[in-house]
Amino acid sequence: EPEVTQTPSHQVTQMGQEVILRCVPISNHLYFYWYRQILGQKVEFLVSFYNNEISEKSEIFDDQFSVERPDGSNFTLKIRSTKLEDSAMYFCASSAFMVGSGEQYFGPGTRLTVT
Amino acid sequence: GESVGLHLPTLSVQEGDNSIINCAYSNSASDYFIWYKQESGKGPQFIIDIRSNMDKRQGQRVTVLLNKTVKHLSLQIAATQPGDSAVYFCAEKVLTGGGNKLTFGTGTQLKVEL
């Protein structure tokens, strides 16, 4: 069964450093998303991406964040200057459709620890 | 410093019993409601969804009920198994948002006792 993959599984970085989290969505999917989950809290939407453009973003997704689809298979989330409060689990998701509930398939996540 | 996590409500059931997990939602404009299961160390996994113009939908061993009058959603799991142990989240989606954004609830921890 096709699945979303994410690398690395765990990233430790120092405050102020840039990090890039990588995702390979399901191959025939057209819509891509990033969510985050701070330890013990709910999953929060960050951004959605379609046709090489951001479709929607949340208040969390400020100028420190950016997304890119550099080639036909990868989807990345960059945080330019990490803060302690960026420590969280980051989930990539993809969907084939936007109509209907547009079932989103989630990857296993990257745990980001900012020290 | 570290933020303090929310204390998740917990539902404990005996193996073989039926489970009912509840969710209150706030946005009456939501078009879809979706249940996700999250096992420890994994990403959320889609279980079942229901459109806002329906009040019941059944899947394999699961049923979702929607009561728009009181903004309440429930997930019923029949004959609960140890593999059902996980955190269950309800999520909402508004079709007009443009980005297919899911808004998740706080989650319920389901523990299945043997």
Nearest C-alpha in A relative to B34 = A101
A80–chain B nearest CA distance, Å:
20
What's the confidence (pLDDT) of residue A72? 81
Using the beta-carbon criterion (under 8 Å), do A102 and B3 form an inter-chain contact?
Answer: no
C-alpha dist (Å) from residue A73 to A9, A111, B107: 18, 21, 32
B21–chain A nearest CA distance, Å:
16
Residue appearing with tokens 């970085």? A13
CA B30 from chain centre, in angstroms, equals 15
| CB of B13 closer than 8 Å to CB of B80 | yes
Q: Which CATH class is domain A18-96?
A: mainly beta
CA B113 – CA A75 distance, rounded (Å)? 40
| CB of A48 closer than 8 Å to CB of A54 | yes
Identify the bridge partners of residue B19 per DSSP, sorted by sequence position.
B77
B32–chain A nearest CA distance, Å:
6
| CB of A43 closer than 8 Å to CB of A35 | yes
Question: Which of A38, A48, A99 is opposite residue B99, by nearest beta carbon?
Answer: A48
**Can you give the residue ranges of every domain in chain B?**
17-113
Q: Which residues contact A110 (CB under 8 A, 6 or more apart)?
A: A6, A7, A8, A9, A10, A11, A21, A89, A90
The amino acid occupying position A58 is S
| CB of B7 closer than 8 Å to CB of B108 | no
Using the beta-carbon criterion (under 8 Å), do A43 and B44 form an inter-chain contact?
Answer: yes
* Burial readout B5-17 (b: 16 or more C-beta within 10 A, e: otherwise): eeeeeebebeeee
Minimal CA–CA distance to A38: which of B45, B7, B6?
Answer: B6
Using the beta-carbon criterion (under 8 Å), do B100 and A48 form an inter-chain contact?
Answer: yes
The amino acid occupying position B15 is E
CA A30 – CA B60 distance, rounded (Å)? 28
Say yes or no: domain B17-113 is CATH 2.60.40.2550. Answer: no
What's the confidence (pLDDT) of residue A2? 83
What's the confidence (pLDDT) of residue B5? 45
The separation between the first and the last C-alpha atoms of chain B, rounded to the nearest angstrom, is 38
What's the confidence (pLDDT) of residue B18? 97
> What is the number of alpha carbons within 13 Å of residue A43 lying toward its C-beta?
30
What's the confidence (pLDDT) of residue A100? 66
Q: If interface means Cβ-Cβ distance under 8 Å, which residues of chain B face chain A?
A: 1-6, 8, 32, 34, 36, 38, 41-46, 49, 51, 89, 91, 93, 95, 97-107
What's the confidence (pLDDT) of residue A88? 97
List chain B residues with pLDDT less than 70. Answer: 1-7, 97-98
What's the confidence (pLDDT) of residue A101? 67
What's the confidence (pLDDT) of residue B26? 86
What's the confidence (pLDDT) of residue B65? 97
Geometric angle at alpha carbon A27, from A52 and A86, rounded to 5°: 60
Per-residue pLDDT of chain A (115 residues; tens, 9 = 90+): 789 999 999 999 999 999 999 999 999 899 999 999 998 888 999 999 999 999 999 999 999 999 999 888 899 999 999 999 999 999 999 998 766 667 899 999 999 999 9
> What is the number of alpha carbons within 13 Å of residue A40 lying toward its C-beta?
8
A48–chain B nearest CA distance, Å:
6
Using the beta-carbon criterion (under 8 Å), do A57 and B99 form an inter-chain contact?
Answer: yes
**Can you give the residue ranges of every domain in chain A?**
18-96
